[in-house]
Amino acid sequence: MKNITTLILFFFVSCGVGFAQEDLLKMLETGSPVKREPVLAMFKTNKLINIHTNETVRKNNLDVRISHLFGNMGQESGGGIHNLYGIDQSADIRIGFHYGITDHLMIGVSRAKRNEDLEGLIKYKILNQTTDNAVPVSISAFTNIAYSIKESSDFITNTYRFSYCSQLIFARKFTSRFSVVVLPTFIHRNFVSADDENNTFSLSGGFRLKFTPSASVIVDYSHTFGRPDLVLPHYDVVGVGIEVETGGHVFTVMFSNASGILENDYLVNTMDSWSKGGFKLSFNISRMFKIGGADAEPGK
């Protein structure tokens, strides 16, 4: 008899206890469905070293980008101590303005010194990787038109001054610290020398590895298929750099053998080789401004 009572008591108590210990936090966590959110900040900015990332500038934001590519560092490629390893030279300078029409659509204009190009560009985010991996990669499309205002007898008609670059950009953020980007490129140049080709295909890849919340190592590589040896052989483009984000600014310091900063140029004209000291110090400053569109009032 007593046993039964004990059992009942035990049952009652265990019921009560079982209920009291029902973990409210667990209930809340299981009650809230896994949210599908776009993965944020796959890259700090819309370019890595030489190549584009999948990122665009947000709506109503203006990214002012100043890129400087010094001269070759190695003696063999025209550098050396006499010009402070290329610091005295500027192989290329690009000043660009990239503006977000929407969070997915970016337009921009730029000037690149080397080929005396004026560039107009569009980048569109087609897909964004999601936190639940339902969309495993981000895809963006990029295209530009460059118009050279160089004084040259080569440009018999104005159409010769145009070149076009189109890219499909695939990116994935593997961990919060590590993101990868891969992009095929098609370039068409209206004017090329007799033994060159108008259409070229390239494949580029790069990654970012964050070593602090604000600083990353960035690397990118580009190979262009079937480049003929012109005056000099063409080399693959390799860039290695450090990127530091300071809230509104992104500073990048890097080394690269790229001939210039514009895709339309370096993907087809890189004749400097790392092994011959043909790499250059380069830096980029990106400053984000909010233009138009009132600050979203939180909670309204």
Partner 1 sequence: MIIFKLKPGYNKGIPKNNEKTLLLIIFICFSRGVFAQELFSVSKGLVTFYSHAPIEDITAENKQPGSMINMTTRDIAVIIPIRNFKFAKELMQEHFNEKYMESEKYPMASFKGIITDDVDISKDGEVQATAKGIISIHGVEKEMTLTGTMKRTGNSISLISDFKIAIKDFNITVPKLLFENIAEVIDVHVALDYKPFQKSNSTK
Whole-number minimum distance, CB 190 to partner 1, in Å? 38
- With 0-12 / 13-18 / 19 or more C-beta atoms within 10 angstroms meaning exposed / middle / buried, residue 6 is exposed
Q: HSE (CB half, 13 Å, CA atoms) of 65?
A: 26
Whole-number minimum distance, CB 44 to partner 1, in Å? 9
Interface with partner 1 in residues 173-232 (CB under 8 A): 176, 212-214
Contact residue for partner 1 among 180, 244, 255, 271 (CB under 8 A): 244
The C-alpha atoms of residue 36 and residue 48 are separated, in whole angstroms, by 27
Interface with partner 1 in residues 51-110 (CB under 8 A): 58-59, 61
Whole-number minimum distance, CB 297 to partner 1, in Å? 7
Paired tokens of 104: 């997915």
Q: Which residues contact 135 (CB under 8 A, 6 or more apart)?
A: 127, 128, 129
Q: Measured between alpha carbons, how far apart are the two ends of the chain, in Å? A: 66
Paired tokens of 127: 């897909």
Site string for partner 1, 116-155 (x = CB under 8 A): ---------------x------------------------
Whole-number minimum distance, CB 27 to partner 1, in Å? 6
* 257 neighbors 295 (Cβ within 8 angstroms): no
Whole-number minimum distance, CB 178 to partner 1, in Å? 12
Contact residue for partner 1 among 8, 217, 232, 285 (CB under 8 A): 8
Whole-number minimum distance, CB 167 to partner 1, in Å? 24
Q: How many residues bind partner 1 (CB under 8 A)?
A: 46
Cβ distance to partner 1 smaller for residue 226 or 247? 247
* 213 neighbors 249 (Cβ within 8 angstroms): no
Cβ distance to partner 1 smaller for residue 62 or 230? 62
- Write a three-state SS string for 171-240: EEECCCCEEEEEEEEEEEECCCCCCCCCEEEEEEEEEEEECCCCEEEEEEEEEECCCCCCCCCCCCEEEE
Q: Residue 20 interacts with partner 1 (CB under 8 A)?
A: yes
> Which residue type occupies 12?
F
Whole-number minimum distance, CB 119 to partner 1, in Å? 24
Contact residue for partner 1 among 150, 152, 249, 275 (CB under 8 A): 249
Q: Residue 299 interacts with partner 1 (CB under 8 A)?
A: yes
Whole-number minimum distance, CB 104 to partner 1, in Å? 13
Could you give the residue ranges of the DSSP H alpha helices within 21-114? 24-31
* 44 neighbors 213 (Cβ within 8 angstroms): no
Segment contacting partner 1 (CB under 8 A): 17-25, 76-84, 139-147, 231-239? 17-25
Applying CB under 8 A, the residues found at the interface with partner 1 are 1-2, 4-5, 8-9, 11-12, 15, 19-20, 22-25, 27-29, 31-32, 35, 37, 39-41, 58-59, 61, 131, 176, 212-214, 244-249, 288, 290, 295-299
